[in-house]
Amino acid sequence: MRIRTETKNDFKHVFNLNYTAFGNRDDEAKLVEQIRFSDGFIPELSIVAEAQGDIVGHLLLSKAKLTNEDGDKEVVVLAPVAVLPEFQKKGIGSKLIKEGLKRAKKEGYGLVFLIGHPDYYPKFGFQPARAHGMELTQFQVPDDVFMVCELINGELENSVGELHYPKAFFAAATQK
């Protein structure tokens, strides 16, 4: 199994993977496409897991903004991550997430946010974000699923504000 940066040749396979992993629904598959063609796309942070030539997993981290009265801070959001059902529970999702966080840190990002399962993400360093002074109003989600991971020491202590997902996240939703 190989973890590598997504290339153009993977786009169709990544669409199909997200379609299948999310229960034969195209919401997340379309979200990936919207993000890819937006300003928030960071090519090195679209990562695939390849097994015997097939794409079996994908992770996308893209740009978002943390805003407060002092201005905006660029952060990244993790969404989506998916592994083909028959390849799940083998550690592929974990490998993608760890690689994504490592790369995001290398790109200079200090904070990663996500909306996700509170049992899965804490092992990678994610914690409930509102407890750290972060807010999210674009989506109505409980405190424990809105999470943040600190990549650079001190970033959490020195940042508060409201997370704003970019337009791409809403364009996908309205296309349904």
Ligand X SMILES: CC(C)(COP(=O)(O)OP(=O)(O)OC[C@H]1O[C@@H](n2cnc3c(N)ncnc32)[C@H](O)[C@@H]1OP(=O)(O)O)[C@@H](O)C(=O)NCCC(=O)NCCS
The smaller minimum CB distance to ligand X, of residues 70 and 86, is found at 86
* Residue 89 C-beta: closest distance to ligand X, Å: 4
Burial pattern 55-92, b for ≥16 Cβ within 10 A else e, equals bbbbbbbbbbbbeeeeeebebbbbbbbbbbeebeeeeb
Q: Which residues in this chain contact ligand X in the complex, by CB under 6 A? A: 21-22, 79-83, 88-94, 116, 119-120
Burial pattern 97-106, b for ≥16 Cβ within 10 A else e, equals bbbbbebbbe
Locate 146 and state its tokens. Answer: 């809105």
The smaller minimum CB distance to ligand X, of residues 23 and 154, is found at 23
The smaller minimum CB distance to ligand X, of residues 93 and 110, is found at 93
* Residue 158 C-beta: closest distance to ligand X, Å: 28
Q: List Cβ neighbours of 71 (8 Å cut-off, separation of 6 or more).
A: none
* Residue 107 C-beta: closest distance to ligand X, Å: 20
The smaller minimum CB distance to ligand X, of residues 83 and 172, is found at 83
* Residue 137 C-beta: closest distance to ligand X, Å: 20
